[in-house]
């Protein structure tokens, strides 16, 4: 199993419009953050989590040429507004693409992208999508996927746990928990001792709808993943300066970062800088 970060920024992205702070003006490519999304791959298959407004740019930048299914966490704009770009993946695969979400998420998608689900002129094409309600647990392309409830301010949203068997028989496990300010006890129990935990941390101090850095570190200390990567990062975080403050097994994620799961169970993070977007 592999997980790649297509974006690690907040809903504003980094650099932010009209901001002249050190991070927004930074030449470090790891401080350039598109809206948050990951792609989970197993064999030749790829499962995309959320479709950000920059999906086209993310796919071109990081060589994403195949999406077999889409998982949706919730329907805030930074997580779904790239859904129209799925039509190119339809063309590449010559197939419809399933989209998985909670019933309210699927209703939002049908309302926001109503032209996709009714007869219209062909024009430049439109996505060919099939909508599926999330089961309690399901398998896509050899990946066991478990949707988990977390709270984003007052909004219930979905986190995802991913499990695959390693060659040695050990289960390899990762989870993606973005846009979260509270994790219910039942979900905490399903997130313990992961090989990789990807967790929301929007700024240093607490936020009304997101974990602050120190809240995220408290959660990581309780859950004890082998490795943790922080995402949904604002311009409050300089990549290198913040990493110097973190425990050894915790780091800020960056756009383009690729994580491979080995048979030892440890997440092998490949330390290659993502190319700078021009």
Task: Determine, yes or no, domain membership for 239.
Answer: yes
Task: Determine, yes or no, domain membership for 62.
Answer: yes
Using the predicted structure, report yes or no on whether residue 274 has a pLDDT greater than 50: no
Percent pLDDT > 70 in the chain is 94
DSSP class per residue in 216-267: HHHHHHHH--SEEEEESB-TT--HHHHHTTS-TTEEE--TT-EEEE-TTS-E
Residues in the chain: 278
Q: What's the number of domains the chain is made of?
A: 1
Closest among 104, 157, 103, 160 to 137, alpha carbons compared: 160
> What's residue 264's pLDDT?
62
**Would the pTM count as exceeding 0.85?**
yes
Sequence-distant (≥ 6) Cβ neighbours of residue 17 within 8 angstroms: none
CATH code: domain of residue 177: 3.60.15.10
Using the predicted structure, report yes or no on whether residue 263 has a pLDDT greater than 90: no
Judged by DSSP in three states, 213 sits in helix
pLDDT digits 0-9 by tens, 47-99: 999 999 999 999 999 999 999 999 999 999 999 999 999 999 999 999 999 99
Q: What are phi and psi of 52, to 5 degrees?
A: -80, 165
Residue 83 belongs to domain spanning: 2-269
- Give me the residue label for tokens 């297509």: 6
> What's residue 276's pLDDT?
40
Mean of the pLDDT values across residues 157-175? 90
Task: Determine, yes or no, domain membership for 275.
Answer: no
Mean pLDDT of the chain: 93
Task: Determine, yes or no, domain membership for 276.
Answer: no
């Amino acid at each position: 199993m592999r997980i790649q970060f297509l974006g690690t920024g907040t809903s504003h992205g980094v650099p932010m419009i009209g901001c002249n702070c050190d991070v927004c003006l930074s030449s470090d490519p790891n401080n350039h953050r598109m809206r948050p999304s990951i792609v989970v791959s197993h064999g030749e298959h790829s499962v995309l989590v959320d479709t950000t407004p920059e999906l086209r740019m993310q796919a071109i930048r990081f060589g994403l040429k195949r999406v077999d299914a889409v998982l949706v966490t919730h329907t805030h704009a930074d997580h779904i507004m790239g859904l129209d770009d799925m039509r190119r993946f339809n063309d590449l695969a010559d197939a419809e693409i399933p989209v998985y979400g909670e019933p309210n998420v699927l209703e939002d998608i049908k309302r926001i992208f109503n032209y996709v689900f009714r007869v219209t002129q062909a024009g430049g094409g439109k996505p060919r999508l099939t909508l599926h309600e999330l089961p309690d647990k399901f398998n896509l392309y050899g990946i066991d996927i478990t949707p988990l409830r977390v709270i984003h301010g007052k909004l219930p949203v979905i986190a995802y746990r991913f499990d695959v068997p390693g060659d040695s028989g050990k289960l390899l496990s990762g989870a993606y928990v973005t846009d979260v300010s509270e994790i219910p006890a039942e979900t905490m129990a399903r997130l313990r001792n992961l090989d990789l935990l990807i967790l929301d941390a929007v700024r240093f101090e607490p936020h009304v709808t997101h974990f602050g850095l120190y809240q995220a570190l408290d959660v990581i200390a309780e859950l004890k993943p082998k490795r943790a990567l922080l995402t949904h990062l604002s311009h409050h975080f300089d990549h290198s300066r913040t990493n110097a403050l973190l425990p050894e097994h915790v780091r800020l994620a960056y756009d383009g970062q690729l994580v491979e799961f080995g048979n030892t169970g440890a997440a092998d993070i490949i330390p290659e800088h993502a190319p700078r977007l021009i």
